[in-house]
Amino acid sequence: MTPTRRSRPTIAIVGAGAAGTLVALHLARTAGRRSTGIDVVLLDPADRWGRGPSFGTLDDQHLLNVPAAGMSALPEDPAHFVAWRTREDPDLGGDPATFAQRRQYARYLDETLTEALQGPPGEFASVRHVRARAVGLRRTGSGAVVATSDGRDVTADAVVVATGLPAAGHAWAPDALRSSAFFVPDPWAPGALDPVRRDRSGPGDVLLVGTGLTMVDVTLSLTDATNRSDRVVHAISRNARIPCAHVPELKLAAIPDVSDWGSTLAEIREEVAHHLETVERDSGDWRPGVDGLRFQISTLWSRLSEEDRAAFLASDAGAWGVLRHRMPPSSATLVHELRVAGRLVVSPGSVTAAEPLPQGGLRVTVTNRSARSISEGAEETTYDVGWVVNCTGPQADIRLLGDPFLDDLLRPRGGAATAVVSTAGMGFRTEQGRLIDSEGRTDAPVWTLGALRRGELWESTAVPEIRSQALALATSVLDTIAPLPRRLADGRLVSGHHPAARPRDPLGLPISTTAEAAAAYNAGLERLMRLQDDAEVPLREAVALDPDFALGHATLALLGHEAGADADVAASLEAARRAVRLRGDERERSLVGVVGQRVKDVRHKGARALMNHIAAHPRDILAVSAAVPTIAFSGVTDVQQEAWDLVEGLAPAYGDHWWYISLLAFTRQDQGRFEEAGLLAESALSCEPSSGHAVHAQTHVMYETGQHEGGRVWLDHWVTESGRSASHRAHFSWHAALHELALGDTEAVRGRYYSQLAPPTVTGVRALVDSASLLWRWRLTTSDWDAAVARGVPAAAGGAFTGETAPPPVAPVLDAVGSALLDTPETPFVALHSAIALATSGEAGRLAALARHCRGSNDVTIRTVVATVCDALLAAGEERWDEAATLLEDTLPVLARVGGSAAQREVVEETLLFCLVNAGQAERASTLLHTRLDRRPSPLDARRSASLAARTPTTAG
């Protein structure tokens, strides 16, 4: 009988724990975004999805080992889990640094998938939970059939193996111990510890074998008030190492650039040690160094030979695990108290023998081979205990698990096995998660993730890694079994993949060129996405490989015109117009037209054309990059809300992509949603450590929340490591200098200015916006504040400075900027900074001319807001402090119209504060300082506030 054809693809997921649930969630969400119908079947005997061994515990003392901030199921919404906890418990759930209960996380996964299926994704995806264990798989012509323990067959177009490691390993245990009723082989099995907790007869002590995170959880379970008060827990392992602890105040990960770390274990060991030492020296803690390494581990692991991997497992893995897999601070406190009280004793050793005791329990012999000397054998200790609990963790070698489904995947059929093991049997070999069979092929519709990819990734067991893999896997599965339609080079639309299909850009849009030119073009576009230097270099290579590549020429023209790239704008634009007439689809023709409009009129017709193009082609990264105001591009608007709406409206087109999350992070900080912005930036950097947009967002978060010392250290580390190829490095240096000004470290500012911000290192608009504005703020910061407060004697802007506090001269910066930007700026943002630069130079005539230029502008913001700032600066230059202060106060409510970030516009507030003090307006200055200090900590503002308070008379009641 011919089987009934299913109306839409089916994906079978073997395992419904965290990994399986996350795959189901991202399949549903991705299918919803694509408007593709799918059916998902979760195969797992558990009563609910989302549980699994990791989160199935019912003990409230068992906490996650990752802060709540890192546990979101949705990469594009890293505050999702924190927000869910806040709804669950408004008093305790809102702190992203807390460590939630494991069972609470299981409920979160359950509810998140359930809610997704009830929302828009549920229109396209169904999820059915079959409570049975998978025991085998056989290939069919276009899919696979999964056999279950209850005799059913589940037919699927694709299969995802999400079992994790389904059994604890206890091959180390002697036969007498394994066969004993007083041995707990798997403490995570439902109810496994209940007999131990209830036992009131025989020896009260318990022996735990293994001293990792499982030991911590089991110890807490066996020493609370429900247990025997005389119980002592003995924990042993070969080296007696217990996990390190997280610190209560989390720090940002310091991600290293590992491109030149070598490929041998010896080379990488040396580089890792240097990295950790450097991070600890600079930040005072090694943990950010370890957390940063986590994002590069798979890269480093892929370089190692099998011999080096085996050596790492034998000699380094244990030490790495102690640093990497840390326990929550509250758990660490309890463990410390138990050790001090003698209720937890940790010792080196291995179990070598066991025998039953007459009154119940076991006498266990433990041998410490590390104590062996030349004259004596290994040291032996015996323990009389009621129970022995296996805390050594899962069996890593899947060949030893005895799992029928995994064994079946490894069993040859018809000459080939569906899967082969990777390093040391730690899971399967894959190509981006898709199983590689014993003949090296990847044509089986079977994928895997999580612990079953440890052999090829090493770091592959924590939720942040599994979440990213689940998203990538969902995309890969749907691309394979339900591919989106593609347009061929001749314009025909076909379903699915086709060998004649055009190459694609990083977001999957087709491009009309050769494969070789497309590869070069994509390299340039990816550099642009990461905010890296020399994006035009591979773009020039692309058009050299294909002179009729219209998109390549148009991109060069746009970057040359708006981003200062080394390109002949007119020639590139003409080449693009010629090429697109020969070959190009509707999007490419539209983009060439947009570039032409932008070259003629950036702010008006060019902006409208760009927005119309994005409305039709929202996944066009080049167009969106040009439209959103960032370091690299002026964008299409200076109005905050319009810029926010632009970014927010792109969410359906980009979803979880790291580049979009980076832009969203910057939008969130601009909205003052700093916690969410920081989480988004961290999420983006975990996917792409070189994302300049994410770093820019995180830098603003740290400044606006007063993390000045940590911000300076973190930013310098990034620029030195992952940001070594970053473009606009001067702007990141400017951010670091602001931290240093806030800390009062003007000599550090001096060193940074001359090495990173002084001409000729910085020229043009960057010299204006970064270097000149820094010199002005430096002057305001280092003027004789105390004298002005105490005597009412003005410390004039641009006046004399003495000693080491005097800033450098501004004249070389103005020369590097050029007269066009200074005297006839076209945008409000540039005009504001031109005014600041001219005020710094003390050129009153030139500043007055700029004020006249602004009042004659067609741009209402230049004509009103910036012209008023010019007038205020002129008044300050003539020491008319009250007038200057009044004018500046008038601009503050509308200053956001100028554009730029809050940190950049803060220069006006700094100038107002300076004018108020010089005008003798101590009360108004104090109010402004208190407002700023309420917003964020600042040593500089605190010192200023104290100076005002000490010299301002108080009125007695």
Q: Answer for the pair 253, 295: CB distance below 8 angstroms, yes or no.
A: yes
Q: Answer for the pair 925, 948: CB distance below 8 angstroms, yes or no.
A: yes
Q: Ramachandran region of residue 854, left (φ > 0), alpha (ψ -120 to 50) or beta?
A: alpha
Asked whether the predicted pLDDT for residue 498 surpasses 70, the reply is: no
**Mean pLDDT on 214-241:** 92
The pLDDT value recorded for residue 632 is: 80
pLDDT digits (tens, 9 = 90+) for 788-827: 555 444 343 333 333 346 789 999 999 999 999 999 998 8
Nearest-angstrom CA–CA distance, 377 and 641: 75
Determine the straight-line distance between the first and last CA of the chain, rounded to whole angstroms.
99
**Mean pLDDT on 290-303:** 93
The pLDDT value recorded for residue 951 is: 66
Report the percent of the chain where pLDDT is more than 90. Answer: 66
pLDDT digits (tens, 9 = 90+) for 551-607: 999 999 999 988 878 889 999 999 999 999 999 999 999 999 999 999 888 778 888
Asked whether the predicted pLDDT for residue 363 surpasses 80, the reply is: yes
The pLDDT value recorded for residue 1 is: 34
- H/E run at residue 790: helix 785-791
Q: Answer for the pair 594, 557: CB distance below 8 angstroms, yes or no.
A: no
Q: Which two tokens stand for residue 314?
A: 């034998």
pTM, rounded to two decimals: 0.84
Q: Which two tokens stand for residue 385?
A: 């205990």
The pLDDT value recorded for residue 54 is: 79
Q: Residue count of the chain, please give it.
A: 957
Edge-first strand listing for the sheet containing 206-209: 183-184, 387-390, 206-209, 233-237, 344-348
Residues in Cβ contact with 893 at an 8 Å cutoff, skipping those fewer than 6 apart: none
Nearest-angstrom CA–CA distance, 771 and 758: 7
With 0-12 / 13-18 / 19 or more C-beta atoms within 10 angstroms meaning exposed / middle / buried, residue 822 is buried
Q: Answer for the pair 595, 557: CB distance below 8 angstroms, yes or no.
A: yes
Positive or negative, the CA dihedral 677, 680, 682, 685 is: negative
DSSP state of 864: I
pLDDT band of residue 756 (cuts 50, 70, 90) is very high
- The strand pairing partners of 541, in sequence order, are none
Q: Answer for the pair 234, 206: CB distance below 8 angstroms, yes or no.
A: yes
Residues in Cβ contact with 211 at an 8 Å cutoff, skipping those fewer than 6 apart: 235, 236, 237, 240, 241, 242, 346, 391
The pLDDT value recorded for residue 869 is: 97
Q: How crowded is residue 952: how many other Cβ atoms within 10 Å of its Cβ?
A: 12
Asked whether the predicted pLDDT for residue 661 surpasses 60, the reply is: yes
pLDDT digits (tens, 9 = 90+) for 54-111: 788 888 889 988 888 889 998 778 888 988 998 887 776 678 888 999 999 999 999 9
pLDDT band of residue 636 (cuts 50, 70, 90) is confident
Asked whether the predicted pLDDT for residue 181 surpasses 70, the reply is: yes
The pLDDT value recorded for residue 495 is: 53
Q: Answer for the pair 834, 821: CB distance below 8 angstroms, yes or no.
A: yes
Long-range contacts of the stretch 279-286 (C-beta < 8 A, 24+): 279/254, 279/717, 282/713, 282/716, 282/717, 283/251, 283/254, 283/710, 283/713, 283/714, 283/717, 285/247, 285/251, 286/323
The pLDDT value recorded for residue 491 is: 46
The pLDDT value recorded for residue 122 is: 77
**Mean pLDDT on 751-780:** 94
> Which amino acid does the sequence have at 886?
T
Q: How crowded is residue 768: how many other Cβ atoms within 10 Å of its Cβ?
A: 24
Q: Ramachandran region of residue 879, left (φ > 0), alpha (ψ -120 to 50) or beta?
A: left
Query: For residue 612, how far is the Cα from the chain centroid?
Result: 31
Mean pLDDT of the chain, nearest integer:
89
Nearest-angstrom CA–CA distance, 73 and 108: 9
pLDDT band of residue 500 (cuts 50, 70, 90) is very low
Nearest-angstrom CA–CA distance, 309 and 315: 10
pLDDT band of residue 485 (cuts 50, 70, 90) is low
The pLDDT value recorded for residue 373 is: 45
**Mean pLDDT on 180-184:** 95
The pLDDT value recorded for residue 501 is: 60
Give all strands (DSSP E) within 331-396, no chain letters: 344-348, 350-356, 362-368, 379-385, 387-390
Asked whether the predicted pLDDT for residue 326 surpasses 90, the reply is: yes
Asked whether the predicted pLDDT for residue 199 surpasses 90, the reply is: no
pLDDT band of residue 955 (cuts 50, 70, 90) is very low
Asked whether the predicted pLDDT for residue 265 surpasses 60, the reply is: yes
Nearest-angstrom CA–CA distance, 31 and 127: 12
The pLDDT value recorded for residue 5 is: 41
Nearest-angstrom CA–CA distance, 192 and 185: 9
The pLDDT value recorded for residue 953 is: 57
pLDDT band of residue 249 (cuts 50, 70, 90) is confident
Q: Quote the crossing angle between the two packed helices 902-918 and 922-935, to the nearest 10°.
A: 150
Nearest-angstrom CA–CA distance, 769 and 101: 48
Query: Tokens 């989302």 sit at which residue?
Result: 50
- The strand pairing partners of 137, in sequence order, are 146
- Quick one: which of 472, 550, 565 has its CA closest to 512? 550
Asked whether the predicted pLDDT for residue 6 surpasses 80, the reply is: no
CA distances for 241 relative to 236, 244, 319, angstroms: 9, 9, 8
| Pairwise pLDDT comparison (12 vs 494), residue with the higher score | 12
- Quick one: which of 464, 69, 67 has its CA closest to 245? 67
DSSP state of 771: I
pLDDT band of residue 375 (cuts 50, 70, 90) is very low
The pLDDT value recorded for residue 926 is: 92
Q: Answer for the pair 56, 106: CB distance below 8 angstroms, yes or no.
A: yes
Report the percent of the chain where pLDDT is more than 70. Answer: 93
The pLDDT value recorded for residue 164 is: 87
Provide DSSP, 425-462.
G-SB-EETTEEP-TTS---SSEEE-GGGGHHHHS---S
> Residue 859 phi/psi, 5° resolution?
-85, 120
Residues in Cβ contact with 470 at an 8 Å cutoff, skipping those fewer than 6 apart: 19, 22, 23, 25, 26, 449
The pLDDT value recorded for residue 19 is: 95
Nearest-angstrom CA–CA distance, 431 and 443: 11
Provide DSSP, 598-617.
HHH-TTTHHHHHHHHHHHH-
CA-based Rg of the chain, rounded to a whole angstrom?
32
DSSP state of 636: S
